[in-house]
Structure 1
Amino acid sequence: MIRKDLLLLFTALTIGFTASAQSPLRRHINFDSNWKFSLGHAGNAERDFNYGLETAFSKSGSANNTCIEPRFNDNTWQDIQLPHDWAVGLPFQYSKKGDLEGKGYKPVGGGFPENSIGWYRKSFDVARADSGNRFVIQLDGVYRDSKVWVNGYYVGSNFSGYTAASYDITDVLQFDKPNVLVVRADATQNEGWFYEGAGIYRHVWLNVFNNLHIASDGGVFVHTSDKGNDATVTIETTVKNDNIAAANATVYTVITNREGKTLAQSKPQPLSLATYESKTLTQALTLTQPQRWSLENPYLYRAVAIVQSNGKTIDSVKVRFGVRTIVMDKDKGLFLNGKNIKVQGVCCHQDHAGVGVALPDYVQYYRIALLKEMGTNAYRTSHNPPTPELLDACDSLGMIVMDEARLLNSGSEYETQLRSLILRDRNHPSIFIWSIGNEEFQTQYTNIGKRIAEHQLIIQKELDPSRTSTYAANMPNVYYGVNQVIPVRGFNYNLGGIDGYHKDHPEQPVIGTEVASTVTTRGVYVKDTINGYVPDYDSTYPAWASTAEIWWKLAAVRPWFMGGFAWTGFDYRGEPTPYSWPNINSHFGIMDVCGFPKNVYYYYQSWWTDKDVLNIAPHWNWSGKEGQPILVWINTNAENVELFLNGKSLGKKDMPVNGHLRWSVNYEPGTLEAVAYKKGKKITSKVETTDVPKRIVLTPSKTTLQPDGEDAVVVNVSVVDSKGRTVPVAGDMIHFSLDGHADIIGVGNGDPSCHEPDKCLPGAWQRSLFNGHAQLIIKAGNKPGAVVLKATGNGLESATLTF
């Protein structure tokens, strides 16, 4: 069960757009609402609103007869709110055109031109009283190859589907009359081999600030170092002058605790800047006996950089930061604040059931809290820059992060992406290491790979000397190419060669950048090649990988091995293994795409936490198999376990450290119970044969929503029998209705072969249970009041929730 105290740390964003002279000096205005959307066409210009027929680039501001034109009538377009992933709403489709397997069988990409271009339009006003400021549009993530126009003027492009882009639109704005922002997203080309979505799937912002201002991209860099019991906080502030004349300024910095109390303040430092010049000032402050940011107490301070001119404050930027030390010792592993910790990590892609890659911020926190509950302490952003809110969640909840670049490439585009990643993310205390790439099998062995890595490492040290880097190499005991220059050797699998590598290269710290890769289907315990299911035991894995137990037993006893990142924390769309269609998502997750635990979850929880864990698998509903042997798998961190069937002992066994226990039990209906002892404490667990489903149960992750148009809640759905016991094999279709100012935005059930829609028509939301569970996500509206969710099913007692 998810800990509610972790989620209570998250406060939803409540920023609104008020363009007036009385607004704050610097505004970061959420631009997610009131967009219009339409699909275009990658192969037919007429169906792409004449883009390619008319000349959109021949004259500034001239894009006649296209949807770029401000006067274009978009009344027939769909009303949407960001974040938005149009691919998740497409039907599942089997096809050999394009890499649909990697896309989760969503018909998007080069083979489907009718589904691969998306157009977005938004109208907005700016008050004349705000003229004289600078205005910058910030797009945190568009998949993919985006082009941006304001009032018909082309302002820029970004081919990356993961790197944020900002565009100064000051010169083309209109005051006291409508402005039109247009974005074209082209998803015909993919960057990964996994589901990547399509569209403006992260937030869009309008940033408003003075012409003399703190630089937008990484303009404040905060890093800390130990000074005995105290800490030195170094703040590097970059100020830019976008005035048409030289300007003078004064810069100082204030550090506060999280309640806003001032703890330290620097002296004002003068600065003179020529037109369009930037300069960086460094200021150092001392914090006396600070609270250290840690996994258990992720305390965040605030550093506020302030710019004054002519005696008035004209700009300020607030940055959350943590005081902590990271040491990677070649012999003893990882140390956080002097405490030795083993990396108990997971790799994750960024999609979730029902919403694709367009996750509400709350769901980021929800997912990190689920991982924390399992005992996870580290997260790898495989294989791309994450959304900023994911890192905010890791900062707030206490999770260290390996932040990964999309590609090992030193060309100008990719150098810009790496710089953008580091500048954007380097203030996050959760990040303990950068990853410059993943499994570049054509490059990693070569001298070219070595030179690219050296180039990228120089950039990393230039922008963030406080950290180091690794590279996720799927190579055994090999020391050439990238491995010759990477500071921390990352192992993707190939753990059979890890002892030899450490012996041969004892000066290089070692971490498992990608390990395990067990494939399981939640709640399925018999191999099913028709539906593409694999048993929910830690027993099946591809040839290149291993079980959870194999890798963890190896990591746990080697002090120099820092630990690693299991593949993966959650199932994800695409890359189905070992089967393809009808599978539409992977089986690698320790949890399914909804976040419902699989059996292997309890293996990790047993050895990654000190919780009282005693889990029995499978369920005990096996009608038709009476008298036949059932494999029973026990995960626990107790010293011993005795198993009982209907009160009769089936024997007592000692639990091997970092292992599990098995029994073969001839099935008879009733109760299978485990009794264990942990440090003298008795722990019990049982599974029972249930009756048929009788009543629907709705379990929300919280019961209050902020009426801000951004907040969300996850509601898990199950059914119970007449005795209130969850029915683990139920597959009932559940129908949902919602009253009030909120919307259902997605449904799922964790079934890797379910082709029911993630997005339903208004008034027709439904989802079948898969092995007893389903899920829906509700997003808040902009008005206060009660929101009522009702769930119904054929022959079932309904359930109602009020938020």
Structure 2
Amino acid sequence: MKFILSLYGLLLTGFIYAQPAAITNINHDWLFAKENKPAQAKWEPVQLPHTWNTDDVMDDVPGYYRGVGLYKRKLPINKKLKGKQIYLLFEGANQFAEVFINGKKAGEHTGGYSAFSIAITDFVNFEKENELLVKVDNSFNQDIPPLSADFTFYGGLYRDVWLKVVDAVHFSVQENGQYITTPSVNAKNVTVEVQTVINNSESVSRKIKINTFVRNKKGIVVASSLQQVQIKPGTVHSFRQPVINVKSPQLWSPELPYLYTVTSEIKDAVTGKLLDVVTNKLGFRWFHFDAAKGFFLNDKPVKLVGTSRHQDHKGLGNAVPDKLVVKDILLLKKMGGNFLRVAHYPQDPSVLAACDSLGILTSVEIPVVNEITETETFYSNCLAMQAEMIRQHYNHPSVIIWCYMNEVLLRPHYNNDKEKQKNYFAAITKLAKALDSVTRKEDPSRYTMIAHHGDYKRYNETGLNNIAMIVGWNLYSGWYGPNMSDFPVFLDTFHKRHPNTPIVVSEYGADADPRIRSTAPVRFDKSVEYTTKLHQYYFTEMMKRPFVAAAMIWNLADFNSETRVESMPHINNKGLLEWDRTAKDPYYYYQAMLSKNAFIKIMGASTIAGIADSSNLICTRQVQVAANIDEVELILNGQTIGKKKTVDGLSEWQLPFKNGNNVIEVKGEFAGKMHSDKKIVTFLLQSHHFDQVLKFEQLNILLGAKRYFVDDEKQQWIPDQPYKEGSWGFIGGKIFQIPNSNRLPYGTDKNIAGTNNDPVYQTQQIGIKKYRLDLPAGDYELTLHFAELLGGQVKELPYNLTDPERIEPNGKRIFNVYINGNLLLDNFDIAAQYGSATAVSKKVKVSVTGNTGIEIDFRSVEGEPILNALQVKKLNK
């Protein structure tokens, strides 16, 4: 709202007063209670934006509070405002809101992601202070989408709230007061049409004048129109203003997002008094999608490359201030992106305002995700949401696509009743047709889109491939599907079968837990290296195919999904940025591929742990350099390693790291100038053998793993190895793998209770006989880490298509653990004592004399012994 409405106003001694119109932010001085009855509520002071789910979505207890939250504040209204019309403007309240003034209900709104207004003129007391109470409910409601989704449905008044005061004759507040279209755009002339909606709340007819001005960036009027109309009493009047022509326009594009301003004024035709003003930004552009050649903007081919975005942020939930919202769009622009999929719901008004200003083309959608409810109320809510979204965001030049469904066949109902399922699918198709029809009627100037998951057959059989103007495919071959190579095959097959349908890749990506690294990345290890590899492959394949109009990365940043478990529970790690917006390696890869200016970046962690290759006390590890420079030279610790060609944005180097700080420099020539990057990598080298001169301090080992991990205390964990004399390692057993699972290469992705360092416990050596550390004489602290990884029926996320559900045998095991012959754990039964998927640590001090080292014995009583991880730390260094 604050980016659409003209802002005038002043705050006088706590009272809100306006001439001719005022809009005032009222985010401050609220009281909140998580109760349903105001009289019994326990109130606490809060400021907006606010959500009540910041903490409970991150704990180990399944579920989060979905219910009623109450917000109240005092609302002083100056008695001078009698005769004015007063509205409350809410940018978002999830998901059903009721508004009360002085105990009387003033209005309500259904849907958690669009703005709404409530007229309160008839409810306020002009003589004394008013009480505003807002009841917000994010409970599951089968009639309100979304029903289910891979994101958290935070509750609360999580966006800005405003008080607007207007004249009795004013641009509509409850509907957008001004709709701007440009039916004819070319390099020489633009035709501008303005549809105006005016509310006359008086009991008499009013004759008014509408002045509309188009101003350029310098504020100079380049075109205008004038119209006189008669507005009947107590009516909302909608009409088109005279056509405006702008000669020699400056066109809007990602490279030059030039914005004009359209201002309309209402004046009393008799007195000339200014009654109301509304202002919108305007960009001149024309575009179309071609099924064979992709997307064209202003008659030029443009490959749309960007990301999707969820609105939540670390520590804030979805109650994110505008400055952080805008920062997201700036980060997308810095990456070189030119597109944003606003997913899976309309977001804060500042998102599209920033996209307009920065030149980011967009799609916006309503939250019909995974499934529907076959009720008329659900249908009408969906249709209302779609119309609401379009009307509120109609004037943004960045918007080119309206979307209304995402993976809606992912959770099909009635799997055991094919006749009912057939009717259910027919209901989805009927809803899709209705939503598409509403969209084209509301805005014939833009495209419609549905985003499907990769089940081509089902979407084709239900007819959903033939309804929207654009088909979006959310494709995860090489992640949820087994093979990356299936991705280009799918694209080519669809294009061959539907040669006249524009196609976009509306989602693709893989989890990259920023704490996990791998020298041998594999599918589902959650390593940053695997994800970078997947992005490079996907992007290269899409760029080869002009018929793929857009590449929409999933996602700009990590986001909260309370039902997720995996290596970082409750977080979807597919973001190019972390939840706090720290960049990951794939972000730099895209920066290299998309930047028009020189870019060169040394990727990877700044602190690395590893085992010495041999007695040379070095460890060879791969380092990647992202660059748009053809050839890169690398220097390590002052010594030139050589030059390499950059291939598809990356060059890869095997570097011999020494213990301690290592200085990496890279440089290359771009457009006749040298460009460089420098990075200091601290390498924590572990001895190949304990008798080497390298002083031993600490060792953190992940059993059953091939990945590296950094925990909350910044400790570096390394993969295990078989025992070697003079060194350390396991004896006996095998790497744990989930029974009856076709997906995970090793370990589990269960949420491990009692820890934030889940990867420490998600892998293990099963059937282990001994663990040996040939440490020299001294005192040590030894910590053994256990978790029972088996047990019960596990319902996977529906996205894990190869393992929708699995039944695991119970981890029935009892064993004894001895340290150098001394009993540490007697009849140790993890499942019985602690339960499944729970972190257990056992710490003991060990004194080593002579050359005995440390030997850990695992002796079975019943079943196979296990060990998930261990740490050994030198005492009295």
TM-score (normalised: structure 1): 0.74
Among 366, 369, 376, which residue is 1:405 paired with?
366
The answer to whether residue 544 in structure 2 is matched with residue 554 in structure 1 is no
Among 445, 456, 472, which residue is 2:451 paired with?
472
Task: Provide the secondary structure at the position in 1 that maps to 2:611.
Answer: coil
Q: Give the CA RMSD over aligned residues.
A: 3.3
2:180 is matched with 222
Distance of 2:79 and 2:667 partners within structure 1: 73
Q: Report the residue type matching 1:317 in the other structure.
A: V
Range moving further from structure 2, 585-594 or 673-682 = 673-682
> Is the Cα–Cα contact under 8 Å of residues 209 and 226 in structure 2 kept in the other structure?
no
Q: Report the residue type matching 1:236 in the other structure.
A: Q
> Is the Cα–Cα contact under 8 Å of residues 57 and 562 in structure 2 kept in the other structure?
no
The answer to whether residue 607 in structure 2 is matched with residue 614 in structure 1 is no
Distance of 2:217 and 2:136 partners within structure 1: 39
Per-residue Cα deviation, 1:733-766 (whole angstroms, up to 9, x for no partner): 9xxxxxxxxxxxxxxxxxx9489xxxxxxxxxxx
Instruction: Extract unaligned runs of 5+ from structure 2.
Output: 373-377, 413-421, 477-486, 614-618, 685-708, 715-754, 759-877
Within-5 A mapping of 1:124-163: 124-163=75-114
1:430 CA displacement: 1.1
Among 575, 597, 621, which residue is 2:583 paired with?
597
2:152 is matched with 195
Relative contact order (C-alpha < 8 Å, sep 6+): which is higher? Answer: 1
Q: Report the residue type matching 1:493 in the other structure.
A: L
Within-5 A mapping of 1:157-172: 157-172=108-123
Q: Report the residue type matching 2:587 in the other structure.
A: Y
Distance of 1:372 and 1:589 partners within structure 2: 15
Distance of 1:547 and 1:367 partners within structure 2: 23
1:743 is matched with none
Within-5 A mapping of 1:748-759: 753=756
> Is the Cα–Cα contact under 8 Å of residues 211 and 227 in structure 2 kept in the other structure?
yes
1:378 CA displacement: 0.9
1:666 CA displacement: 3.9
> Is the Cα–Cα contact under 8 Å of residues 312 and 320 in structure 2 kept in the other structure?
yes
Task: Provide the secondary structure at the position in 1 that maps to 2:54.
Answer: helix
> Is the Cα–Cα contact under 8 Å of residues 607 and 683 in structure 2 kept in the other structure?
no
Within-5 A mapping of 1:311-326: 311=271, 312-326=273-287
1:461 is matched with 440
1:349 CA displacement: 0.6
Among 640, 657, 665, which residue is 1:673 paired with?
665
Range moving further from structure 2, 150-159 or 474-483 = 474-483
In percent, how many aligned pairs have the same letter? 26
Within-5 A mapping of 1:135-284: 135-189=86-140, 191=146, 192-216=149-173, 217-224=175-182, 225-284=184-243
1:434 is matched with 402
Task: Provide the secondary structure at the position in 2 that maps to 1:618.
Answer: coil
Per-residue Cα deviation, 1:588-637 (whole angstroms, up to 9, x for no partner): 11111111111111111111112322222334644553333322222222
Among 29, 36, 47, which residue is 2:24 paired with?
29
1:228 CA displacement: 4.8
Within-5 A mapping of 1:785-800: none
Judged with a 3 Å threshold, the aligned counterparts in structure 2 of structure 1 residues 524 and 681 are, in CA distance, closer, same or farther, namely farther
Q: Report the residue type matching 1:451 in the other structure.
A: K
Distance of 1:570 and 1:392 partners within structure 2: 20
Q: Report the residue type matching 2:443 in the other structure.
A: D
Distance of 2:314 and 2:96 partners within structure 1: 25
The answer to whether residue 268 in structure 2 is matched with residue 286 in structure 1 is no
Distance of 1:555 and 1:158 partners within structure 2: 42
1:471 CA displacement: 0.9
Task: Provide the secondary structure at the position in 1 that maps to 2:658.
Answer: coil
Distance of 2:671 and 2:217 partners within structure 1: 39
1:412 CA displacement: 1.4
Q: How many residues align?
A: 639
Among 296, 303, 311, which residue is 2:255 paired with?
296
1:653 is matched with 644
> Is the Cα–Cα contact under 8 Å of residues 620 and 671 in structure 1 kept in the other structure?
no
Q: Report the residue type matching 2:343 in the other structure.
A: S
Distance of 2:293 and 2:609 partners within structure 1: 52
Judged with a 3 Å threshold, the aligned counterparts in structure 2 of structure 1 residues 618 and 277 are, in CA distance, closer, same or farther, namely closer
Judged with a 3 Å threshold, the aligned counterparts in structure 2 of structure 1 residues 13 and 194 are, in CA distance, closer, same or farther, namely farther
1:80 is matched with 46
Range moving further from structure 2, 120-129 or 404-413 = 404-413
The answer to whether residue 574 in structure 2 is matched with residue 588 in structure 1 is yes
Per-residue Cα deviation, 1:216-250 (whole angstroms, up to 9, x for no partner): 21220012231551211111111222223444333
1:273 CA displacement: 2.3
Task: Provide the secondary structure at the position in 1 that maps to 2:51.
Answer: coil
Distance of 1:384 and 1:203 partners within structure 2: 17
1:498 is matched with 491
Task: Provide the secondary structure at the position in 1 that maps to 2:559.
Answer: coil
TM-score (normalised: structure 2): 0.68
1:684 is matched with 676
Distance of 1:21 and 1:358 partners within structure 2: 25
1:101 is matched with none
Among 405, 427, 437, which residue is 1:448 paired with?
427
> Is the Cα–Cα contact under 8 Å of residues 230 and 290 in structure 1 kept in the other structure?
yes
Judged with a 3 Å threshold, the aligned counterparts in structure 2 of structure 1 residues 642 and 185 are, in CA distance, closer, same or farther, namely same
1:212 CA displacement: 2.3
The answer to whether residue 464 in structure 2 is matched with residue 482 in structure 1 is yes
1:120 CA displacement: 0.7
Distance of 1:575 and 1:652 partners within structure 2: 46
Distance of 1:682 and 1:346 partners within structure 2: 31
Among 632, 636, 642, which residue is 2:623 paired with?
632
Distance of 1:335 and 1:15 partners within structure 2: 42
Task: Provide the secondary structure at the position in 2 that maps to 1:407.
Answer: coil
The answer to whether residue 560 in structure 2 is matched with residue 573 in structure 1 is yes
Judged with a 3 Å threshold, the aligned counterparts in structure 2 of structure 1 residues 397 and 228 are, in CA distance, closer, same or farther, namely closer
> Is the Cα–Cα contact under 8 Å of residues 584 and 753 in structure 1 kept in the other structure?
no
Q: Report the residue type matching 2:500 in the other structure.
A: E
Judged with a 3 Å threshold, the aligned counterparts in structure 2 of structure 1 residues 89 and 609 are, in CA distance, closer, same or farther, namely same
Distance of 1:533 and 1:587 partners within structure 2: 12
1:152 CA displacement: 0.7
Instruction: Extract unaligned runs of 5+ from structure 1.
Output: 1-8, 41-47, 51-64, 68-75, 99-106, 110-115, 541-545, 693-727, 734-751, 756-803
1:582 CA displacement: 5.3
1:525 is matched with 517
1:14 CA displacement: 9.7
Q: Report the residue type matching 1:376 in the other structure.
A: G
1:307 CA displacement: 2.1
Judged with a 3 Å threshold, the aligned counterparts in structure 2 of structure 1 residues 16 and 345 are, in CA distance, closer, same or farther, namely farther
> Is the Cα–Cα contact under 8 Å of residues 446 and 482 in structure 1 kept in the other structure?
no
